[in-house]
């Protein structure tokens, strides 16, 4: 009689162990599914590399706006005639006036000119706002002349607050500064007189 009771107990225990194991296995699979799915790129991550549209219809001469592209700030500067003259004025002081040594991306062919802009919109500068020294974001210092942390003959441009590198109004670095190269110019195109696409041009996406 005792043997029968033991058999029933052992049978019940086996049933419980099997049920527990199955439940644990299902739980393990259920827990693993979200973990595996997390390796898939999110919509936000996919969008981070996509071209960016910018409306410059309200960007007045002398004003600048910043948009995000691939996780980096990109400046869009509408330069005045005076600022365009300052670009030419700065040339003798620059380390690489012709942008012969690009930083992290090749200079688009349509920006191989003194203004580093498209000929049909030469007043518009589009530049990646990342200092080529250690990656800080320079600040605009458009006013000409002597001022704190800048030379007395300052022609206008950008100052990196981290280590003092300076760039002209075309994003070209001045000589004898920590930054070794000019700011990057991304591929971009005008889809209308007031609409810019950054990260894509006539050749396709960057």
pLDDT (0 to 100) of residue 47: 55
Q: Using pLDDT thresholds of 50, 70 and 90, give the confidence band for residue 49.
A: confident
Query: Which token pair is 50?
Result: 């996509």
Tell me: pLDDT of 26 over 50: no
pLDDT reported for residue 48? 62
Residue 8 — pLDDT band, cuts 50, 70, 90? very low
Per-chain mean pLDDT for the chain? 83
Rounded CA gap, 72 and 49, in Å? 10
Map out the domains of the chain as residue ranges.
Answer: 1-40, 46-205
Choose which CATH entry (3.10.50.40, 1.10.3720.10, 2.102.10.10, 1.10.10.60) describes domain 46-205.
Answer: 2.102.10.10
The CA distance from 149 to 41, in Å, is: 44
> For residue 48, what are its two tokens?
């981070």
Tens digits of per-residue pLDDT, 154-205? 999 999 999 999 999 999 999 999 999 999 999 999 999 999 999 999 988 8
Is the confidence at residue 25, as pLDDT, over 50? no
């Amino acid at each position: 009689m005792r043997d029968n009771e033991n058999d029933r107990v052992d049978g019940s225990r086996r049933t419980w162990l099997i049920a527990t194991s199955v439940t644990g296995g299902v739980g393990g699979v259920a827990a693993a599914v979200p973990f595996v799915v997390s390796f898939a790129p999110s919509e936000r991550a996919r969008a981070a590399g996509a071209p960016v549209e910018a409306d410059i219809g309200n960007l007045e001469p002398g004003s600048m706006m910043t948009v995000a592209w691939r996780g980096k700030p990109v400046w869009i500067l509408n330069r005045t005639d005076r600022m365009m003259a300052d670009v030419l004025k700065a040339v003798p002081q620059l380390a690489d006036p012709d942008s012969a040594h690009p930083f992290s991306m090749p200079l688009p062919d349509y920006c191989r000119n003194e203004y580093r802009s498209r000929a049909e919109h030469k007043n518009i500068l589009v530049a990646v706002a990342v200092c080529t020294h250690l990656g800080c974001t320079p600040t605009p210092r458009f006013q000409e002349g002597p001022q704190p942390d800048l030379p007395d003959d300052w022609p206008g441009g950008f100052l990196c607050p981290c280590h003092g590198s300076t760039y002209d109004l075309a994003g070209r670095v001045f000589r004898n500064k920590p930054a070794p190269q000019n700011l990057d110019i991304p591929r971009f195109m005008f889809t209308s007189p007031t609409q810019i696409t950054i990260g894509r041009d006539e050749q396709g996406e960057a």
